[in-house]
Amino acid sequence: FILDTVSGCIEHKPLLDIVVSLFYRSPESVSQSDFSMYHVCYLTICFLDQLGLKCFGSIVQSLGVRKVQTQFLLFLFSNLTTLVQEKWMGIYDAEHVQKWRPEIIALLEQLAVKASCVSQLRKAPTKTTEPQEFALTRPKLRAFPVPEIIPELDKVRLSWHIKMNSAAILRQGALVDRQLKQELQMQCLVEGAQEPSAFLHWQNEMREKDLQEQLAKVECRRLEGCISHEEAVLCRSRLTAQNHAAAQLKKEEAAKLMHRYAVKRLQEEKEMKELVQQVSDGHKNAKAAKKKLHAMKQKIKEVSEESQEHLRRAMTDAQAEMIRKCDIIRKIHAIETGGHELLGEMCLCELRERLALLKEAQSAERLQRQQNIHQQRDRRKQMLQHKLHTIQLH
C-alpha cells in the first residue's frame, strides 16, 4: 500500500498540485510542513472506492487529531464542485463526489468533536510558582567619622635642586639678559646718554655693505663658471678638429698603401703571363721545357707565397687600422655632444669629469657640514654653561 501511495503521488503530481496550491491560497493559516500529508490524504480520497469509508477514516485518524486535517477535508469537499471543478473539468464528474458526501460530512463532524475535546483538555490552566521574599537580616547604618580640620600652612619655596634642560636654560638666560639690558639702558638714560640711533644707522650700513659684497662674490662666481664653460667648448672644438685631421691623414695613408699594393699585384700578374707565354713558346724542347716549367712552378710558388704573405700583412695592417680608427671614433664620441642643440649640452668626457668634481665637492661639503655641526654643538654647550653660570649668579 505504501508503494502504491508513493507511486500514485508521483504519477498524479500535477493533479495534486492544483488542490494543494488552492488550499494554500485560502485565508486559513497553514504550515508548509504538512505538504506531504495533504498529498497522502488526497490520494487516499482518489482511491476511496477501493479502500472504503472505514479504512479511510482510520487512516485520517492515525495522522493525528488536528484542526488542519479537518480544514483540508472541508475545503476539498466544499470547493470540489466550484474551484477545483474548473481545474478538473473532464477528469471527475459530480456523481462521484456526491456519492460519498454524507459519509464524509459525518467523518468531519467526528474529527471536529475530537479536536475540540483535545483543545479543551490542553487549555486547562496550569499552576504557577509564586516567588516569596527571602528573610534576610538588614545591616545597621554606620556612623560617618567627623572630618578633621587641616591647619593651613604658609607656602615654602622648594629647597632641593631641579635639573634644567636646554630650553629652560635658554628661556631663563634670555630673561636675565633682557633684564640686564633694560637695567643698563635705564642707567645710561639716567646718566644722560642719548638714544643709540647713530649706532643703529652704522649697523644698517655695515649690513648693506656685507650684502653688496656677497652679491658681488656670487656674480663673480657666475662669470667664472661662464668663462670655464666657454673654455671647455673651445677646447672641445679644437680637439674635434685635430681628431678629424688625424683621421683624414690616416685615410690618405691607407689609400696610398692600397694603391701600391694594387700596382704590385698587376706587375706580378704581368710577369706570370710572360712566363706562361715563354713556356708555350719553348714547348718543342722537352728537356728545356721541363726545366723551365719546373723553374716557372717554383717561381709561381714563391710568388704565390709572397703574395699570400703580402695579403696577410695587408689584412693585419687593415685590421690594426680598423681597431685604431674605432678607438679614435670612440674618443671622438666621448668628447662630442649628442647634437640635441640644448643650452647646457656637454660631451661624455666632460660629464664624467664634472661628475667626479661634483662627487669630490659633495664629499668635501659633507665633511665641512659635519665639522660645522660638531663646532655648533660645542659652542652651544659652552653657551649653555655660560648662561647657566649667569643664572646662578643672579
Q: pLDDT higher for 308 or 382?
A: 382
Closest CA to 347 of 226, 243, 235: 235
Q: For residue 165, what pLDDT is reported?
A: 79
Placement of cell 659635519 in the chain:
370
Q: For residue 365, what pLDDT is reported?
A: 92
Mean pLDDT of the chain: 72
Q: For residue 202, what pLDDT is reported?
A: 82
Q: Which long-range contacts (CB under 8 A, 24 or more apart) does 159-165 make?
A: 164/388
Per cent of the chain over pLDDT 90 is: 5
pLDDT value at 340 more than 50: yes
pLDDT, mean of residues 99-104 = 59
Q: For residue 336, what pLDDT is reported?
A: 64
pLDDT, mean of residues 353-362 = 89
Least confident segment among 52-61, 63-72, 244-253, 277-286? 63-72
Other C-beta atoms lying within 10 Å of the C-beta of residue 264:
13
Cβ neighbors of 80 (< 8 A, separation 6 or more) are 97
pLDDT value at 277 more than 50: yes
Q: How many CA atoms lie within 13 A of 393 on its CB side?
A: 10
Q: How far apart are CA 347 and CA 333, in angstroms?
A: 8
The grid coordinates of residue 350 equal: 666632460
Q: For residue 124, what pLDDT is reported?
A: 44
Q: For residue 234, what pLDDT is reported?
A: 86
Indicate the domain borders of the chain: 2-121, 200-336, 348-394
Q: For residue 108, what pLDDT is reported?
A: 59
Residue pair 24/6 in contact (Cβ under 8 Å)? The answer is: no
Residue pair 8/46 in contact (Cβ under 8 Å)? The answer is: yes
Q: How far apart are CA 169 and CA 186, in angstroms?
A: 25
Closest CA to 229 of 90, 113, 344: 344
The 10s digit of each residue's pLDDT in 237-260 is 888 888 888 888 888 888 888 888
Highest mean pLDDT among 315-324, 371-380, 382-391: 371-380
Closest CA to 68 of 31, 118, 121: 31
pLDDT, mean of residues 330-354 = 68
Q: How far apart are CA 129 and CA 300, in angstroms?
A: 142
Cβ neighbors of 299 (< 8 A, separation 6 or more) are 275
The grid coordinates of residue 24 equal: 494554500
Q: pLDDT higher for 133 or 374?
A: 374
Has this prediction a pTM greater than 0.85? no
Residue pair 331/243 in contact (Cβ under 8 Å)? The answer is: yes
Per cent of the chain over pLDDT 70 is: 56
Sign, CA dihedral 308-313-317-320, equals positive
pLDDT value at 280 more than 70: no
Burial zone of 19 (CB within 10 Å; 0-12 exposed, 13-18 middle, 19+ buried): buried
